[in-house]
């Protein structure tokens, strides 16, 4: 093993200034890096829904026409966006590229994406609605995407700041990767920002430190992520709605809450996995009611975060605590001292009228009820979609009474147990 390390260092030393390796036999062995990183690849065990907004402005006119929510245009958009992820990790020098890179140079796909091009998707439809352009009066499009079982990903929120082991750093250094990306402080997150268009300009120079990303490093990262790890996407820390029905952010070992996704590969998806909505969508009433209902419940979450207490619990009685009365009502979570499990919902503090002793009871947060109306729209909707609901034709329908069940079954941020497992090794 010492000989291997020496060989890597020698290879790295020989490479100074070189754009790439003379041939494959000269490439340092990257299996050490691949084996280490593979331990942090996950796959979904349950399908989960995520949401992607974009504006129809400047795009194909199809997006401004009425089309079914089952239109294949949704899948096609996902496929056309996600393919950019791997393309952006190709060299501008086509001669250096593997055969699955675009034939003409490296494409550029917009600016401002921290983890490079790809299809970015939020854990709920509320968190990223501004990306639809509705605030500017633009025609918004919303994709509802089902991430399939087996979807492979890395979780930068959970594992992104891990220090790379020294021997993994050495492999990446031998591939001329900038040390500040792989140092103790940036780890995996540093790697995954390799093709970001936020901090790095089109020439591959960082605006912060003038570090140049070599083709050798770029192509090795692509090889590691695409060929060794075979990831379909990644997860990174981002804001998401803290639905009260979900007990706030769940905490579990997989640390999936408070994140957003970058989908880098359309191959795990089918046409059925992507639904497409706009203000012109004529069908899919059940789906549209569910989506619109999430906005009403999101407002309730915001109210709670500003200290508004749940109503209707102050006079609640508990036969098992006959001499206790409700002394405090709040939204939140409580750790059960016996089961050591965290329960979230409406937290009631009961006080014994004689001894003054306190008991805590946690009730599930009640589902939101009533009709959908413009008056009940969230305050922040006033500037969106011209102040109207996403779909005015749905007004006066009931807020989805089964929304809580649906969210608990289908949203990553609503899970009690993580819907993931360590990924199977694929090579």
Partner 1 sequence: MVDRALTRVLFGLILLTSGLSASAAPAVDDKPLIDFMDNFVYTLTQPVYVWKWFRGDEAKGLTDKISPDNALGFAKLQKATAEYWPSYVVKKESNSGYASYDSEKPFGPALYAAIDPVATSGPDLQLSSSYSYNYSGDTKKTDPSAPWALMQIQMPVGLRFVDLNRDGGDSLPLHIQEILAAYNCPTAWNDVADGLTNLLSANAMSISYYRYSSSGQSKSMTSECIAEMRKILKDTLNIQAIFFQGDSVEFKECRLHKRDGSEYPDDNYNLPPTGGNNPNRHGRFLILDSTPFAAKDVRLYNAQTTEDKDQRLRLQSFFYKADFDAKSIYYKSYLDGVVKEKYPNYKLQYASRSCQSDYSTSPATTKCALQLNMYSDSNGSMQGTAPLPPVPTEVKVISHDQLPQSQRNNFKDLLWSDLDGQAVDSQLGDWIVKNLFGCPAEVEYDSAY
The secondary structure of 43-109 as a DSSP string is: EESS-EEEEEEEE-TTS-GGGGS---TT-THHHHHHHHHHHHHHHTTS-SSGGGS-TTS-SSS----
> Given CA atoms 56, 59, 61, 63 in this order, what sign does their dihedral have?
negative
Cα–Cα distance for residue pair 396/372, rounded to 1 Å: 5
Contact 411, 302 (CB under 8 A): no
Give the residue with the Cβ less far from partner 1, 251 or 323.
Answer: 251
Give the residue with the Cβ less far from partner 1, 179 or 202.
Answer: 179
Give the residue with the Cβ less far from partner 1, 37 or 390.
Answer: 37
Give the residue with the Cβ less far from partner 1, 219 or 254.
Answer: 254
- Nearest in space to 77 (alpha carbons), one of 53, 57, 100, 101: 53
- The CB-of-238 to partner 1 minimum distance in angstroms stands at 16
Question: Taking the CA of residue 305 as centre, how many other CA atoms within 13 Å lie in the half-sphere pointing to its CB?
Answer: 13
Q: For residue 331, list its beta bridge partners.
A: 346
DSSP 3-state of 276 = strand
Backbone angles phi, psi at 12, to 5 degrees: -60, -40
- The CB-of-340 to partner 1 minimum distance in angstroms stands at 5
- The CB-of-119 to partner 1 minimum distance in angstroms stands at 25
Give the residue with the Cβ less far from partner 1, 254 or 348.
Answer: 254
Contact 100, 92 (CB under 8 A): no
| Residue ranges that bind partner 1, judged by CB under 8 A | 1, 5, 36, 39-40, 42, 158-159, 161-163, 165-168, 170, 179-180, 183-185, 251, 253-255, 335, 340-342, 420-425
Return the structure tokens found at 76: 């096609």
- The CB-of-412 to partner 1 minimum distance in angstroms stands at 15
Contact 260, 240 (CB under 8 A): yes
- Nearest in space to 258 (alpha carbons), one of 277, 276, 238: 238
Residue written as token pair 């907004």: 53
- The CB-of-211 to partner 1 minimum distance in angstroms stands at 10
Return the structure tokens found at 393: 């034709």
Cα–Cα distance for residue pair 33/287, rounded to 1 Å: 43
- The CB-of-336 to partner 1 minimum distance in angstroms stands at 10
Give the residue with the Cβ less far from partner 1, 179 or 239.
Answer: 179
- The CB-of-39 to partner 1 minimum distance in angstroms stands at 4
- The CB-of-217 to partner 1 minimum distance in angstroms stands at 17
Residue written as token pair 């041939």: 23
Give the residue with the Cβ less far from partner 1, 51 or 200.
Answer: 200
> Given CA atoms 112, 114, 115, 120 in this order, what sign does their dihedral have?
negative
Give the residue with the Cβ less far from partner 1, 92 or 167.
Answer: 167
Cα–Cα distance for residue pair 235/262, rounded to 1 Å: 6
Give the residue with the Cβ less far from partner 1, 143 or 254.
Answer: 254
- The CB-of-222 to partner 1 minimum distance in angstroms stands at 23
């Amino acid at each position: 093993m010492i000989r291997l390390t020496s060989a890597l260092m020698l290879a790295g030393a020989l490479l100074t200034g070189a754009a790439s390796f003379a041939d494959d036999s000269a490439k340092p062995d990257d299996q050490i890096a691949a084996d280490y990183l593979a331990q942090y690849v996950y796959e979904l065990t349950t399908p989960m829904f995520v949401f992607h907004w974009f504006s129809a402005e400047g795009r194909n006119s199809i997006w401004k026409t009425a089309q079914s929510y089952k239109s294949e245009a949704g899948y096609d958009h996902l496929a056309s966006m996600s393919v950019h992820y791997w393309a952006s990790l190709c060299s501008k020098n086509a001669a250096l590229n593997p055969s699955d890179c675009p034939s003409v140079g490296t494409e550029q796909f917009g600016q401002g994406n921290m983890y490079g091009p790809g299809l970015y998707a939020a854990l709920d439809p509320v968190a990223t609605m501004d990306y639809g352009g509705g605030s500017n009066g633009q025609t918004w499009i919303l994709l509802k995407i089902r991430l399939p079982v087996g979807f492979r990903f890395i979780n930068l929120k959970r594992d992104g700041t891990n220090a790379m082991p020294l021997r993994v750093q050495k492999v990446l250094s031998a591939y001329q990767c900038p040390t500040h990306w792989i140092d103790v402080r940036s780890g995996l997150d540093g790697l995954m920002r390799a093709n970001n268009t936020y901090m790095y300009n089109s020439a591959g120079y960082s605006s912060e430190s003038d570090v140049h990303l070599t083709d050798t490093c770029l192509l090795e990262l692509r090889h590691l992520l695409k060929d060794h790890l075979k990831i379909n996407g990644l997860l990174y820390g981002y804001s998401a709605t803290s639905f009260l029905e979900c007990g706030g952010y769940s905490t579990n070992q997989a640390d999936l809450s408070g994140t957003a996704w970058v989908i880098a590969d359309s191959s795990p998806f089918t046409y059925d996995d992507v639904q497409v909505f706009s203000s012109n969508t004529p069908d899919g009433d059940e789906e549209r009611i569910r989506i619109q209902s999430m906005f009403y419940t999101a407002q309730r979450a915001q109210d709670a975060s500003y200290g508004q207490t749940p109503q209707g619990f102050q006079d609640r009685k508990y036969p098992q605590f006959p001499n206790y009365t409700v002394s405090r009502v709040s939204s939140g979570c409580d750790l059960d001292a016996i089961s050591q499990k965290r329960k979230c919902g409406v937290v009631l503090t009961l006080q014994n009228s004689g001894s003054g002793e306190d008991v805590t009871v946690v009730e599930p947060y009640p589902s939101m009820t009533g009709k959908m109306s413009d008056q009940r729209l969230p305050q922040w909707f006033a500037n969106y979609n011209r102040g109207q609901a996403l779909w005015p034709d749905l007004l006066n329908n009931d807020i989805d009474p089964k929304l809580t069940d649906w969210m608990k079954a289908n949203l990553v941020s609503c899970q009690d147990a993580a819907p993931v497992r360590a990924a199977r090794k694929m090579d």
